[in-house]
Amino acid sequence: MTMDRSASPDAGEVARPFQGVRIVDVSHVLAGPYCSYQLALLGADVIRIEPPANGDIARNMGPDAELNAQGLGLAFLGQNSNKRSLAIDLKSEAGKAILWQLIDTADVFIENYRPGVMRRLGFDCEAVLERRPDIVYASLTGYGQEGPLSTRPAYDHVLQGLSGMMSANHTPAGERHRVGFPVVDYVAGLIGAFAIASALFQRTHSRRGQVIDVAMLDAALAIMGPLITEVAMNGRLNRPGGTRAFSGSPLSGIFETDDGLIVTTANTHAQAVAMLGALGLAEQAGDPRLRNWGAHPGLGDEFAPILRRIFAGGSAAHWEEILSAAGVPASRVRDLPEILDHPHLAWRQVLLDAPRIAGLDRGLRVPGVGFKLANGGQALDRPPPRRGQHSVEVLESLGCSVEEIDRLIAAGVVGVSRTGETP
């Protein structure tokens, strides 16, 4: 690896998993930046490459107009902490020369443009690996580098429809719905991070680089594994839709209480017996059909009105406590502000507090990697960068003189952003 010794931990400390790994990230919007964000939280030195004029379009995405006006849209803030921003014009020869210098120092190169774009710029995988045979080159696209759909444009919303995800997420009446956040973008980013980690480990014994091809469509299908297997083997999907659990348990669903909603499911016979006992339905717990409810698809419809009547007689918090105490998974249906204030999240360190962004009078809390390590785990060292915030710093580290940097800025090849300026 191209180890940065200045980033080495002090004696006695455990280094984060990717400390000393440098990533040049030419990606934009969601999937690619989310991929590099995972690795940045775990210690990688990620240098974002952005256009000098406007930067990543995610800087202007989100419902907060004030943040968008500053180039700090919520879509950008959520996945760009721990990164530096270098704004250069990759269509100029001088900009390309800078990127090549940076590639010479890197372990990983990430891009997520449509196939052919990086080749036209001169930074396709063949060109980069010819110069750096040990680099890990990762491409994240909608449909992959090859195939009949490979040149099509793609966004999460469209891929949820194309992949069958919307059809799987249907009501009993057949109405299709999208998942309420860009799940395909984010799972593609996670798979990309996993692929890069795999390639870096492989490189420790192969001494060779790797080319990674992540397709958002592939990622969407991969996380629907049981459904894909069902259709591949049976030729069709036999799922009723609605709020019943994936297991098909007749004692599952979302129910109205006297102050909100409760979601619960008893996925085993033992849980079914416990749930019915906790709800005062011990007699129904002896129903022999509960031992094999898959053979009795109408059982859920029989229990539904009974469960609705019982749950309507108490609060969601009451039923959550009753069922949880009985060993039955259950929860009051919460909205995001409620769950973000839950004390359990503080114990798990799910949210990380970012250092203050210069010129912004609001604090920033962002999600972490979603797991904990006993030693050398995630840490948030720097806030999301303004566009070109680190251009001068990075160019100086490559040996550029002050005069040369000034000429590049004046020519529009390099963009910079100072505190308080709109990126």
Report pLDDT for 52. 95
Cα separation, 266 vs 281, whole angstroms:
14
Q: Does the structure show a pLDDT above 70 at 4?
A: no
pLDDT tens digits for 325-341? 999 999 999 999 999 99
Q: Does the structure show a pLDDT above 90 at 93?
A: yes
217 and 289 share one domain: no
Please check whether residue 63 lies inside any domain of the structure.
yes
80 and 176 share one domain: yes
Q: Please name the amino acid found at residue 70.
A: Q
Which of 67 and 2 is assigned the larger pLDDT? 67
Token pair for 338: 């409620």
73 and 199 share one domain: yes
Q: How confident is the model at residue 407 (pLDDT cuts 50, 70, 90)?
A: very high
Report pLDDT for 417. 86
Structural domain for 216, as ranges = 22-225+367-415
* CATH number assigned to the domain comprising residue 88: 3.40.50.10540
73 and 181 share one domain: yes
289 and 402 share one domain: no
215 and 268 share one domain: no
pTM: 0.93
Q: Which of 333, 358, 375 is the last residue of a domain?
A: 333
263 and 168 share one domain: no
| 3-class secondary structure per residue, 59-119 | HHCCCCHHHHHCCCCHHHHCCCCCEEEEEECCCCHHHHHHHHHHHCCCCEEEECCCCCHHH
For residue 171, give every residue at least 6 positions away whose Cβ sits within 8 Å of its Cβ, in sequence order, or none.
177, 241, 242
Mean pLDDT on 186-209? 98
Domain count, the chain: 2
116 and 52 share one domain: yes
88 and 161 share one domain: yes
Q: Please name the amino acid found at residue 145.
A: Q
* CATH number assigned to the domain comprising residue 295: 3.30.1540.10
pLDDT tens digits for 349-401? 999 999 999 899 999 999 999 999 999 999 999 999 999 999 999 999 999 99
Please check whether residue 234 lies inside any domain of the structure.
no
pLDDT tens digits for 217-270? 999 999 999 999 999 999 988 887 788 899 999 999 999 999 999 999 999 999
Report pLDDT for 48. 98
170 and 68 share one domain: yes
Cα separation, 204 vs 191, whole angstroms:
20
Report pLDDT for 10. 54
Strands (E), 158-268: 210-215, 252-256, 261-265
295 and 177 share one domain: no
Q: Please name the amino acid found at residue 318.
A: H
Please check whether residue 246 lies inside any domain of the structure.
no
